[in-house]
Amino acid sequence: MSDADRPQLYLVTPPEFDLDIFPDRLAAVLDAEEVACVRLALATRDEDRVARAADALREVAHARDVALVIENHVLLVERLGLDGVHLTDGSRNVRKLRKDLGDDAIIGAFCGTTRHEGISAAEAGADYVGFGPVGETPLGDGSRADFDLFQWWSEMIEVPVVAEGALTAELVAQFGPVTDFFGVGEEIWKAPDAAAALKSLLAPLG
């Protein structure tokens, strides 16, 4: 696969991490692979904790010219000097946020397995649309974003698409030709050496 066709990499943080350790782990991965964007996806609702994590990861990401977006916490984007927001509820708020945050902010929308929701998000001004999970996971209702959805999207829609959720090297090989980004998170952070795990996951891309 040529560099021009190769999907870009979009890293997703774990829902929980140790702020004393994780920034260095993230830095090691960013130094090992070319990454387009990092998503801060903490599960906590503790504003102070989210803000401290965002500050630490922003320093790591921006020092390497990598964008940092935050999951759902729209009001923190400008306050913390982040590059944008990743919405987990599809297209619902995209149009309003585009108006509020301006043209320069990154606005992404995760649309599960629903083509219609993805189209709505794209038309409302999303910079990218995410579908998933593409792999098998015991979480959720068992539905998956299938290959046909990505193939159709890559042929019909110009807005970039992200494949994420329970990725394996086999799925990376399969979906590589039909996605613009791979969203990678838990697949690598559970490994002792996240950079090595990422290298193995992406090996089929060449």
Tell me: the pLDDT tens digits for 22-54? 999 999 999 999 999 999 999 999 999 999 999
Mean of pLDDT over the chain: 96
pLDDT attached to residue 4:
63
Mean pLDDT for 144-158 is 97
Q: Of 29, 35, 28, 53, which is closest to residue 43 (Cα–Cα)?
A: 53
CATH class given for the domain over 8-205: alpha beta
Q: Does the model's pTM come out above 0.85? A: yes
pLDDT attached to residue 3:
64
Proportion of the chain above pLDDT 90, given as a percent? 94
pLDDT attached to residue 1:
53
Per-residue pLDDT band at 58 (split at 50, 70, 90): very high
- Write down the residue that tokens 């964008």 correspond to: 67
Q: Please check whether residue 181 is in contact with residue 8, taking contact to mean a CB–CB distance below 8 angstroms.
A: yes
Sorted by where each begins, the domain ranges of the chain are 8-205
Q: Residue 95's CB: how many other CB atoms inside 10 A?
A: 16
